[in-house]
Structure 1
Amino acid sequence: MVKNALQAQLLKAGLVDNKKAKKLSKQAVHEQRTGVSKDAEVKAKIEQDKQQKMARDQALEQEKKAALQEKELKAAIMQMINQHKIRDTDGDSVYQFIDGTIKKVYINQQIYNALVAGSLVIAKENEAYAFLPKALAERINQKMEGFILVNNSQSNADTTDEEDPYAAYVIPDDLMW
């Protein structure tokens, strides 16, 4: 009842008995059927797959956390803009600025003068525009860029060219045509 030559040789040498030989042959057949003989390779592959899955899960978790933090920061900035915006701005003066296209807002003269002087800024509030104090605009820009559209407190001298013959003639921003 010996299945291969190696087992027959072991039986003749007296190293194993019939009972042990049957057990070994059954074990070999079982290993071939179930694939357990490659146990170390399979375990290594499983462990590698686990490590890769954990790395993917951690990267996905980091992305979710970053997106959530960005969303929370945007909500906090929108709340700051809503709380500190100047409410009574309706008037007859027209102020034009660029937000993708040229936008036009009608404001009172006091707000207009403050915008031109640079003590107020224009911020984007969802689909509308809000007028904010300059100090608040600086805090918002430190947290996240992109909300402040118009800030006239920044000097235009940086953009002038030294070789420009008309550099000495400054054109005021509040010039009415």
Structure 2
Amino acid sequence: MASLQDQLLKAGLADEKKLKAHQKEKKKQRKQQPKGAVQQDETKLRAQQAREEKAERDRQLNEQRNEEARRKAITAQIRQLVETNRLDRSRCQTDYQFVHGKKIKKILVDDTMTDQLSRGRLAVVFMDERYEVVPEPVARKIMERDADAVVVLHDRAQQADQDEDDPYAGYEIPDDLMW
């Protein structure tokens, strides 16, 4: 079977000069384009995609590491604030009950701490699986870093409003009354 070029020559639709010029042009194009150029382009494209995917994975991993380092730093700051500002409860004998999560917890405090806790001057903080009592300004600093660490901190403004509207404000509570 003859090629298409031979058939066109026999039919008189093409001449020898055009055929040779076309063959020379094709040969030039083949020589200019190295062998496997299409494969090289695909290989380069795949390599570029692999680099981009690796860069994305590295970026995500780096972001996770930074987040974990930030959490550790915040935990260390809270631990330092609690350790330096906690109140001594070694001689306390009064139970103070509060809600943490869905459970009622209790810690030992003295009577002045109980009063200050209820007025919002002291706060209960949960750190390292234990509860500590710290002053209110320290609790505010801790809340800036992690609001979940502060378990009990009564708001002073609400209590001031309640005291003004309290119909029993004129009645004193006897000292010997125990709840």
TM-score range relative to shorter protein: 0.5 to 0.7
| Matching of residue 113 in structure 1 with residue 103 in structure 2 | no
| Structure 2: distance between partners of 1:86 and 1:138 | 16
Which residue is equivalent to 1:10?
none
Which residue is equivalent to 1:3?
none
Q: 1:145 aligns with which of 140, 144, 147?
A: 147
Output the TM-score relative to the length of structure 1. 0.68
Output the TM-score relative to the length of structure 2. 0.67
**2:119–2:156: 8 Å Cα contact kept in structure 1?**
no
- After TM superposition, what 4+ stretches of structure 1 lie above 3 angstroms from structure 2? 13-16, 154-157, 167-170
Which residue is equivalent to 1:88?
89
Once the two structures are superposed, the pairs formed by residues 12-161 of structure 1 within 5 Å of their partners are 31=36, 37-100=38-101, 101-156=103-158
CA change 1:38–1:169 in 2 (3 A) is farther
| Structure 1: distance between partners of 2:178 and 2:107 | 15
SS across alignment from 1:146: helix
| Aligned partner letter, 2:55 | M
| Structure 2: distance between partners of 1:176 and 1:50 | 72
Query: Which segments of 5 or more consecutive residues in structure 2 lack a partner in the other structure?
Result: 6-19
Query: Which segments of 5 or more consecutive residues in structure 1 lack a partner in the other structure?
Result: 1-5, 7-12, 161-166
The CA RMSD measured in Å over matched residues stands at 3.5
Identity %: 22
CA distances 1:109-145 after superposition (whole Å, capped 9, x unpaired): 1211211121110001211111101011111111221
Query: Per residue, is there more helix in 1 or in 2?
Result: 2
| Structure 2: distance between partners of 1:90 and 1:103 | 19
The 10-residue stretch of structure 1 (134-143 or 84-93) with the greater mean CA deviation from structure 2: 84-93
CA distances 1:131-160 after superposition (whole Å, capped 9, x unpaired): 101011111111221111001235547xx9
**2:95–2:109: 8 Å Cα contact kept in structure 1?**
yes
